[in-house]
Amino acid sequence: MQALIVIDVQNDFCPGGALAVPQGDAIVQGINTMMADFDAVILTQDWHPAGHSSFASAHQGSAPYDMIEMPYGPQALWPDHCIQGSMGAKFHMELQQDRADLIIRKGYNPAIDSYSAFFENDHKTPTGLEGYLRTRGISKLTMVGLALDFCVNYSAVDAAKLEFDVTVQKGLCRAIDLNGSLGAAVSGMQAAGVNIVS
């Protein structure tokens, strides 16, 4: 059984959004077309409460993209984005949400960020996605979405560590590329055994 995991194709990550990924909206139609080829389609949704600890605005004197130390390790600070119930947190209007078997919301704990579809950024607290996939007998995952060097990267590496067979469709992802993060992410995914196809 194979699942398509669509990572964070939300308004705030698309052009015009609070944390826009260049050409983030250019992948939507290609993702919609791919959905029919899989036994299951799972969408992830960044879902932050207002004032989340990963927002630069929550730390006096900090600016977006600064790095700080959190109890669970280094954390990039972001512009306020994907706030629960906001227009920015909604999926891109052209994404075929009706095809989704499951929507996983992440980043809703105010004290910890969550890039991966599988774990919060402490790398310990699970989202429940692994259990869902196991109970459905799904072992092969294809990942697409935003952003390649953050949430797609973390999700793919975690899935590989959990011994899923993981492919990232690079052409249906877009990256932020913050201080060389894209090159580091691609190297890290390959080292973890993720198959990257363009």
Is the Cα torsion angle 75, 76, 77, 81 positive or negative in sign?
Answer: negative
Given the residues 12, 106, 113, 149, the one annotated as active site: 106
Distance in angstroms (rounded) separating the CA atoms of residues 84 and 45: 10
Given the residues 8, 25, 113, 149, the one annotated as active site: 8
This model's pTM is above 0.75:
yes
For the question of residue 161 being annotated catalytic, the response is: no
Q: What is the share, in percent, of the chain residues with pLDDT greater than 70?
A: 100
Distance in angstroms (rounded) separating the CA atoms of residues 31 and 83: 24
Given the residues 14, 82, 151, 173, the one annotated as active site: 151
pLDDT at residue 171 in the model = 97
> In 3-state terms, what secondary structure has residue 190?
helix
Distance in angstroms (rounded) separating the CA atoms of residues 91 and 44: 9
Q: Are 61 and 51 in contact (CB under 8 A)?
A: no
Tens-place pLDDT, residues 6-37: 999 999 999 999 999 999 999 999 999 999 99
pLDDT for residue 179 is more than 90:
no
Tens-place pLDDT, residues 83-119: 999 999 999 999 999 999 999 999 999 999 999 999 9
User: For residue 116, which of 74, 78, 52, 160 has the smallest C-alpha distance?
Assistant: 160
pLDDT for residue 192 is more than 90:
yes
For the question of residue 8 being annotated catalytic, the response is: yes
Give me the DSSP letters along 20-70: PPTTGGGGHHHHHHHGGGSSEEEEEEE-BPTT-TTBGGGSTT--TT-EEEE
pLDDT for residue 57 is more than 90:
yes
- Strands across the sheet with 140-146, in order? 102-106, 40-46, 2-7, 140-146, 165-174, 195-197
pLDDT at residue 178 in the model = 85
User: For residue 129, which of 159, 154, 100 has the smallest C-alpha distance?
Assistant: 159
Phi, psi of 103 (to 5 degrees): -120, 120
For the question of residue 106 being annotated catalytic, the response is: yes
**Confidence band for 4, pLDDT divided at 50, 70 and 90:** very high
Q: Are 18 and 88 in contact (CB under 8 A)?
A: yes
Distance in angstroms (rounded) separating the CA atoms of residues 100 and 191: 30
